Amino acid sequence: MTGLERMRAYLTLIRPKQWLKNFFVFAPLIFAKELFMSEQLMVVLRAFAAFCLTASAIYVINDIADVEADRAHPEKKNRPIASGRVSVPSALGLLVVLVGVASILASPMDVRFIVILAAYFLMNIAYSFKLKEVILLDVFIVAAGFMFRVLGGAYAINVAVSTWLVLCSLFVSLFLGFAKRRGELQQATATSTLSKRKVLSLYSVEFIDQLLTIAAAGAVISYALYTVAPRTIDIFHTEKLIYTTVFVIYGVFRYLYLIHRSSAVENPTNAVTSDLPIIVTGLLWIGSCIALIYGGDAMWWAR
């Protein structure tokens, strides 16, 4: 294997594409009206990098723990460790580097951020070795990771975060988590590999569809309530943030459509980054939120 191929294998192992999830760290910065404060922005960028490296370290641990199961999976057998492109000792060496650099990045930050980052790491270690086989708890652990990102972003810059926003992030992550389980279940059933993943045999498509409906409704309602909460209106000086809910509703509906039209939305990140309507909707939502939050005082129609 050439040096370039080895580098690609290591990059695949740390899954940089999954770093998209860590942008939840920026939510408190945006909604605290501090996005354009350079000092605060640099702190959150540091927090983002620490979460990215920590998440990559968890992926390495997970791939080491799941190497045998991955080799029996039609797609996961191509992962670097399962395919033999990266040896277990080399993966362990990479793990030490990732954890070390993440620790260096986090060390000068607020102690609450360090606690959140450490809890995120330990929780995911427990998930990799045991909790991923416990029905419902497996998805709740993943959802908790998104909440930790939001809280980590808030603690990094020492701002209060709305409980409605935290609740919304919980429902969104539950929605994405159960969608992922649905895709995995469909694929495992189609390839007769259901027995290879114990927790999947405990789910059914009908049960997951019920959970998806609840999570989708919870995400939309909690976000709508956040936009009209008295504290939100007092901070942003506008009641028009409620209109951004239409983007959230469309995004949720579009994702539900993809779930039922595709054989498996097994990877939410791929679905979000490859579907043009979702990409456009996400950009419109971000743009409208920033315009209303930061330009509300200057725009008569936002008052």
Instruction: Give the least confident one: 123-137, 143-157, 223-237, 263-277.
Output: 263-277
Does residue 124 sit in the same domain as residue 4? yes
| Residues of the chain above pLDDT 70, percent | 92
pLDDT at 180 over 50: yes
Does residue 114 sit in the same domain as residue 1? yes
Q: How far is CA 295 from the centre of its chain?
A: 28
Structure tokens at 184: 């995995």
Domain carrying residue 270: 162-303
Does residue 268 sit in the same domain as residue 119? no
Does residue 148 sit in the same domain as residue 282? no
pLDDT at 184 over 80: yes
Query: Nearest 10 degrees: CA dihedral of 251, 255, 257, 261?
Result: 150
Distance CA 157, CA 170 (A): 21
The count of structural domains within the chain is 2
* Extended beta strands in the chain, E state: none
* Extended beta strands in 9-90, E state: none
pLDDT score at 300: 44
Distance CA 271, CA 214 (A): 21
Does residue 152 sit in the same domain as residue 169? no
Distance CA 179, CA 190 (A): 17
Does residue 28 sit in the same domain as residue 89? yes
Three-state DSSP at 33 gives coil
Distance CA 77, CA 23 (A): 29
Q: How far is CA 178 from the centre of its chain?
A: 13
Distance CA 289, CA 244 (A): 7
Mean confidence (pLDDT) of the chain: 87
Instruction: Give the least confident one: 38-47, 58-67, 85-94, 196-205.
Output: 196-205
On whether the CB atoms of residues 173 and 143 are closer than 8 A, the answer is yes
Name the residue among 177, 185, 169, 183 with its Cα closest to residue 211: 177
DSSP state of 262: S
* Extended beta strands in 111-230, E state: none
pLDDT tens for each residue of 58-113:
999 988 888 877 787 777 888 888 888 888 899 999 999 999 999 999 999 999 99
Distance CA 257, CA 239 (A): 30
Domain's final residue, options 111, 136, 161: 161
Give 171 or 262, the one with higher predicted confidence.
Answer: 171
Does residue 122 sit in the same domain as residue 267? no
Does residue 167 sit in the same domain as residue 271? yes
Does residue 140 sit in the same domain as residue 200? no
pLDDT at 301 over 50: no
Q: What's the chain's length in residues?
A: 303
Instruction: Provide the CATH number for the domain around residue 151.
Output: 1.10.357.140
Does residue 140 sit in the same domain as residue 169? no
Does residue 88 sit in the same domain as residue 188? no
Q: CA torsion sign, 260 to 261 to 263 to 266?
A: negative
pLDDT at 45 over 70: yes
Mean pLDDT of 194-201: 75
pLDDT score at 267: 63
Name the residue among 114, 113, 122, 118 with its Cα closest to residue 151: 113
Does residue 155 sit in the same domain as residue 11? yes
Name the residue among 168, 165, 159 with its Cα closest to residue 32: 159
